[in-house]
Amino acid sequence: MNYEPLKYVYKASGNPDAYTLLLLHGTGGDENDLIPLAEDFKLGFNILSLRGNVSENGMPRFFKRLGMGIFDEKDLDFRTDELVDFVTEIADKENFNPTKIVALGYSNGANIAGAVLLKYPQFLAGAVLYRPMLPFKQFGVFSNTSNTPVFLTSGQHDPTVNPDDTAKYVALLRTAGYNVEDHVLNASHGLVGEDILFSREWFAGNFKL
């Protein structure tokens, strides 16, 4: 396939057994946006932060969309493959364990992380999805056999995400075998303190170094 490399920042923890936190920004962000948040968690993880290859009016994204909340699913499918291929290559280059990757994505980044959960259900060791939407309207049967933990937060005042669709998304992931912790917060689309507090607690309960 004709994949493009992604711009990235990698910060090694110095621990050969560490997990790697894969950071995936929202629309208009870049590879630097989520690093302060990740470092504030003080997890002892490696950090791999990517910039999406798609530009929407000059704003980086991980895949194209046809309108607000309407994904170009053909491009999403391709870009998901591209991302997994790239991360696999970078794991070899930077010498981190490709079986110990935990994605953390916000909005557009959460959506491509979700696409990885559906298309490559054994690839991630865990995922944090802030304000996600169901990546594909129709998707075949998929199964996660590792009870992989997934953390998901949605905002009850978020104008971009239908709460019924979020509930269906959570049910879909659970049916596929993921261990999902989900929270509906008194928030809109932006992150609030509870997103950070609850995800910090989730990390502590699921990933011991």
If residue 44 lies in a helix (H) or strand (E), which one and from where to where?
none
Tell me, yes or no, if 183 is annotated catalytic. Answer: no
Three-state secondary structure call for residue 69: coil
Considering the domain boundaries, does residue 123 fall inside one? yes
Take residue 93 and report the two structure tokens written for it: 């280059």
Q: How far, in Å, CA of 139 to CA of 34, rounded?
A: 29
What confidence score (pLDDT) does residue 198 get?
Answer: 98
pLDDT value for 67:
83
Domain that holds residue 96: 8-206
Does residue 3 lie within any of the structural domains? no
CB 34 within 8 A of CB 60: no
Is 157 in the active site? no
Indicate whether this model's pTM tops 0.95.
yes
Q: Are 43 and 21 in contact (CB under 8 A)?
A: yes
With respect to residue 15, please indicate whether it lies within any of the assigned structural domains. yes
User: What pLDDT score was predicted for residue 209?
Assistant: 63
- Give the pLDDT of residue 208: 77
Q: Which amino acid is present at 99?
A: T
Q: What is the DSSP letter of 60?
A: E
CA atoms in the 13 A half-sphere facing the CB of 137: 6
Q: Of 33, 158, 182, 195, which residue is the catalytic one?
A: 158
Q: Quick check: is 49 catalytic?
A: no
In the set 49, 107, 154, 199, the catalytic residue is 107
Q: What CATH number is attached to the domain comprising 169?
A: 3.40.50.1820
Pairing relationship of beta strands 126-130 and 149-155 according to DSSP bridges: parallel
Domain count, the chain: 1
Is 1 a member of any domain? Answer: no
Kindly list the averaged pLDDT for each block of 10 residues, start to end, along the chain of length 209.
Answer: 92 94 97 97 96 95 91 96 98 97 98 98 98 93 96 96 93 97 97 97 90
